[in-house]
Amino acid sequence: MIKIQSDYQKRPIRFLQLWENGGWSLKVYGISYSSEYPSNKLMDKAKELARDILPFPAVTKNRYGLGFIGVHEGSGANFIFIDWWSNENELNHHVYVESHGDPGMFKYVTPKGLIACCWDLKVLSYERDCWVESVLNNSTGSPDIDLYLNMHLNEDV
């Protein structure tokens, strides 16, 4: 039998801003176990990590300069995930974790196989649906980038 250490508690997932940097347009989401929004320090770290991992140029034949960042202030650790769309329907996903026992030290954990926690998965699922609706299967017959960038998740999950 699986032993659960704590009861599930809903957390706020909030769209925080559209961050534009070096040709990239990224939706930024915040998730926090203890407040409405993650700390500004954590937000700044997410942008620093994004600048380091995002490929440049942002827009190429197979890359659109579009994606999202998740900043999750968790109870046992902090998580940052940086995602962008490429090759029409593929999501590039990169995860960093900061243990509360080792503040300031974010480790790149993507090669270890970690994808996301149950709250982060809500953001990934929502963004997948936005991409399909606004880009891949837009009712106008052509991608609508503005529609994609204006679709935001704000929900307690």
Name the pLDDT band for 104 (thresholds 50, 70, 90). Answer: confident
**Has this prediction a pTM greater than 0.85?**
yes
Q: Give yes or no for a contact between 28 and 45, defined as CB atoms under 8 angstroms apart.
A: no
Omega cis (within 30) before 103: no
Higher pLDDT, 36 or 139: 36
List, for residues 56-86, the tens digit of each pLDDT value.
Answer: 999 999 999 999 999 999 998 999 999 999 9
Cα dihedral sign, 98-101-105-107 = negative
